[in-house]
Chain A
Amino acid sequence: MNEFIDNFCEILEDTDVSTISSNSHFKELEEWSSLMALSLIAMVDENYNVSLSADDIRNAKTLEDLYNLIQSKR
């Protein structure tokens, strides 16, 4: 999980990464945008070899949700 959070923080530009935890609601971040979603999809594919669907992203609220989803798809 920590590694996933580190990877997620790497795609952030404007957010204070010290505020990011497994409980963070990533879609509520001010910089959450199409561009960031693109980066997230690319990061997950590159690091975990998992393809996310639009619904996967829609249904995940926290980073932990996303992480669990990725683990279930591996």
Chain B
Amino acid sequence: MRFRLGKPSDAKRLSQIHSKIKEVNGLGIFVLMGGRFLKTYYSIVLEDPNSYCLCAVNDDGLIVGYTFNLIDSEIHHQFLYSHKIRLALSAFGTLCRKPKLVIELYRRYKSLKSNDGVYAASKGARGGYWGWDPDYKDPESSLELRERMSLITDALGIKTLSFEVDLDNSKVYKFHKWAGAIEDEIVILPDGRKRALMHYDQSTRRRLLKL
């Protein structure tokens, strides 16, 4: 397994992996919005100078896992907002087929516009997503990817990394608590899900693996 930084040209593959994971783990708004929207979203994330992404690439040169973080959530939200037309166009087809999604998407849009922190941390560095192709079983490399990303986070001088976990993901939530994450708040999302807003102090975070 090789590791390399993600680039905008990786957006399609990252969106494919994201979709596959949700096929296994359940449905989030991003997946419900469809592949075109996801690809656009990842293109924007990877174009954002405030993001950094690490990819795991197998021997055939295929990305099988990735993780990205944001150096500054507020600036990232502004960046996303500045691409709202692009996102809206990519969402158009899905919204025509599934008009009920308009409500949830509009909530997200309002939250993004006001940077109110309803769905995720509104300022400072934030963990984005950690995804692994479910068809490519290699949990050891997946953990290695995550740990290497944490080393990059340290190298960038980031001291505190915020992130969010839905309480339904009880294993993930429990793991983060074990790893030293500090719980800031439990919020209830507009769709009723309970979400923990948490953060790591990078200096006290338990290392996942010895590399």
- Show the binding face of A for B, using Cβ within 8 Å: 27, 32-39, 41-42, 45-46, 51-54, 57-58
Contacts and interface: CB of A to CB of B under 8 A. Distances in A.
B211 A51 contact: no
B171 A41 contact: no
Contacts of A46: 178
Given A41-B209, A53-B210, A34 B178 contact: no
A35 B175 CA distance: 9
Interface stretch (B10-18, B41-49, B134-142, B189-197): B134-142
Interface residues of B, number: 21
B171 to A, nearest CB: 5
Interface of B: 132, 137, 139-144, 147, 171-172, 174-175, 178-179, 206-211
B interface: dominant SS: helix
Contacts of A38: 143, 171-172, 175, 208
Contacts of B174: 39, 42
Given A38-B172, A46-B178, A54-B140, 17 more contacts: A32-B137, A34-B139, A34-B143, A35-B172, A35-B175, A36-B171, A37-B139, A37-B142, A37-B143, A39-B171, A45-B206, A51-B209, A51-B210, A53-B211, A54-B141, A54-B144, A57-B143
Q: Which 9 A-B pairs have the closest CB atoms?
A: A37-B139, A34-B142, A53-B210, A42-B178, A34-B139, A54-B144, A38-B175, A54-B209, A58-B140
Nearest to B134: A33
Nearest to A39: B171
17 contacts: A33-B137, A34-B139, A34-B143, A35-B171, A36-B139, A37-B142, A38-B175, A38-B208, A39-B174, A51-B209, A52-B210, A53-B211, A54-B143, A54-B144, A54-B147, A54-B211, A58-B140
A57 B175 CA distance: 17
Contacts of A33: 137, 139
Contacts of B132: 34
